[in-house]
Structure 1
Amino acid sequence: MKNFAPFLIFLLIVGINSCSKKDDCDNPVDCLPPLTTTGEGTIGCLIDGQVFKPGGSQWGGPTQQANYNTTLEGELYFSLIARNKDLNKSIGLSIINEEIIQGQTYILGSNQFQTNKAQYNFIDSYETNQIHVGEIGFIKFDDVNGIVSGTFWFDAVNENGEVVEIREGRFDMNYN
Structure 2
Amino acid sequence: MFLYASQPKNRITLKCFATIILFLSVSFSCKKKREQEFDANGLPKATQIGAMIFACKINGENWISKKSPNSIKAVVADSELSINGINDSASGLIYEDLTLIISGPSVSTTHKLDLDHTYARLTSYRDCFNTSTRFGMAKSNKGEVVFTKINKSSRIISGTFWCDIPTDKCGVIKITEGRFDIFY
Scaled by the length of structure 1, what TM-score is found? 0.69
Structure (1 or 2) with the larger CA radius of gyration: 2
Given candidates 72, 76, 80, the residue that maps to 1:64 is 72
* Map of 1:128 onto structure 2: 139
Residues 1:85 and 2:49 aligned together? no
Secondary structure (helix, strand or coil) at the match of 1:31 reads: coil
Distance (Å, rounded) in 2 between the aligned partners of 1:68 and 1:136: 16
Question: What per-residue deviation string (whole Å, max 9, x for no partner) do you get for residues 112-143 of structure 1?
Answer: xx2322122331435235xx411111122222
Shift of 1:14: 8.0
Whole-angstrom distance in 2 between the partners of 1:86 and 1:100 = 36
4+ runs deviating over 4 angstroms? 4-25
For 1:85 and 1:50, the matched residues in 2 are separated by 15
1:32 to 21, 44, 54: 44
**Tell me, what secondary structure is at the counterpart of 2:85?**
strand
Shift of 1:93: 1.0
Query: 1:65-120: CA deviations, max 9, x gaps?
Result: 001121xxxxx111011011227222111122x1333423332x32xxx2322122
Return the letter of the residue paired with 2:65: P
The alpha carbon displacement at 1:6 in A equals 9.4
Q: Which amino acid aligns with 2:96?
A: K
Distance 1:118 1:41 in 2: 19
Following superposition of structure 1 onto structure 2, how do residues 96-111 of structure 1 map, counting pairs within 5 Å? 96=103, 98-107=104-113, 109-110=114-115
2:53, 2:67 within 8 Å by CA — same for their partners in 1?
Answer: no
Q: Is the counterpart of residue 46 in structure 1 residue 91 in structure 2?
A: no
Give the helix-richer structure, 1 or 2. 2
Q: 1:162 to 1:103 in 2, by over 3 A?
A: same
2:101 pairs, out of 70, 94, 99, with 94
Query: Unmatched 5+ residue regions in structure 1?
Result: 71-75
**d(CA) in 2 for partners of 1:142, 1:18:** 30
Matched letter for residue 120 of structure 1? L
Aligned-residue identity in percent: 21
Per-residue CA distance 1:6-37 (angstroms, 9 max, x = gap): 99889877876776647997x41x5323332x
Contact kept? 1:128, 1:154, Cα under 8 Å: no
Tell me, in whole angstroms, the C-alpha distance in 2 between the residues paired with 1:162 and 1:10: 53
RMSD (CA atoms): 3.0
Please say if residues 55 and 86 of structure 1, whose CA atoms lie closer than 8 Å, have aligned partners that are also in contact: no
